[in-house]
Amino acid sequence: MVKAIKHMEMEADFLDRYQRQIQLSEIGLQGQQKLRSARILIVGLGGLGCPVSQYLAMAGVGCIGLVDGDTVSLGNLQRQTLYRNDDVGKSKVQIAFNQLQSINPSLELLVFDTPLTPENSLDIVVLFDLVIDCTDNFTARYLINDVCAQLNKSWVYGSVSRFEGQVAVFNVNIRGDDKLFSLNYRDVFPEMPKEGEVLACDEAGVLGSVVGVVGALQATEALKYFTEAGNLLRNQLLTYNALKQTMFTVKLSQ
């Protein structure tokens, strides 16, 4: 009896907490329940990973994995929304774990206090349904691509440069055919750029709010992926430009 009442209270909280999402006809109760059983891995807890993890935790994603081996530095605080001044020097995944738990205690969080490496990537990625690339380098991005291709997982790409950002969803299973997938990152960029060819944010600079926009776009694609709302950025590459406030989408042919 006590157990049944507790369960009813939890369901009432569930409906109350997610009421604004559930009332969206494209999501509804069914979509919200799909989010509750979703398992999403976020690789990188920097400028992109912070808003992505916050929006997904708030949206009611059931299980979120966090991968990052870094500690918080003073220069991170300009754009990395999970961290506070007192967090400098502390483990990013540990701070993120505490913050996300306090946002949504029903969330299951799996924390990996390590960078994603060729040695650990298969064991980590296999635990999740979808991967979100919030990394800041090509080595990690190609690793995510290759592991996801090997394990037939979809992933959401996001990256920033100064006032611009790119977003796409790669390796999406098409029409329920277990052998047919949308394009992946290597189909579009077969070779990794040479070292130093593309400047990273610490060399080129980036506006904090632009990273937030791109992270919000990635989180939105992840929520669409599970709820099947609208059209995914599948076989498409979106570029956001904050200076012009434009979005430019290119169709990537299969």
Partner 1 sequence: MSVLEVLVFGQLTDSIGKDRIHFSYVQDTELFRKALNESFPGLRDKTFLLAVNQELVLKKKILKPGDTLALLPPFSGG
Q: Between 37 and 249, whose beta carbon lies closer to partner 1?
A: 249
Q: Between 107 and 238, whose beta carbon lies closer to partner 1?
A: 238
Contacts with partner 1 by CB under 8 A: the residue count is: 41
What is the distance, to the nearest Å, from the Cα of residue 53 to the centroid of all Cα atoms in its chain? 7
Is 184 within 8 Å of 149 (Cβ atoms)?
Answer: yes
* Of positions 94, 189, 216, 229, contacts partner 1 by CB under 8 A: 189
Rg (CA), the chain: 18
Report the distance separating Cα 104 and Cα 10, nearest Å.
Answer: 13
Strand partners of residue 115:
none
* Of positions 58, 88, 149, 188, contacts partner 1 by CB under 8 A: 188
Does 138 contact partner 1 by CB under 8 A?
yes
Tokens of 126: 């296999």
Q: Between 91 and 161, whose beta carbon lies closer to partner 1?
A: 161
Does 62 contact partner 1 by CB under 8 A?
no
Of the candidates 177, 121, 190, the one whose C-alpha atom is nearest the C-alpha of residue 150 is 121
Q: Between 172 and 201, whose beta carbon lies closer to partner 1?
A: 201
Phi, psi of 105 (to 5 degrees): -65, -20
Is 145 within 8 Å of 170 (Cβ atoms)?
Answer: yes
Report in angstroms how near the CB of residue 50 gets to partner 1 at its nearest: 10
Does 71 contact partner 1 by CB under 8 A?
no
List residues binding partner 1 (CB under 8 A): 44, 46-49, 133-138, 158-162, 164-166, 188-189, 191, 193-194, 197-201, 204, 206, 211, 237, 239, 241, 248-253
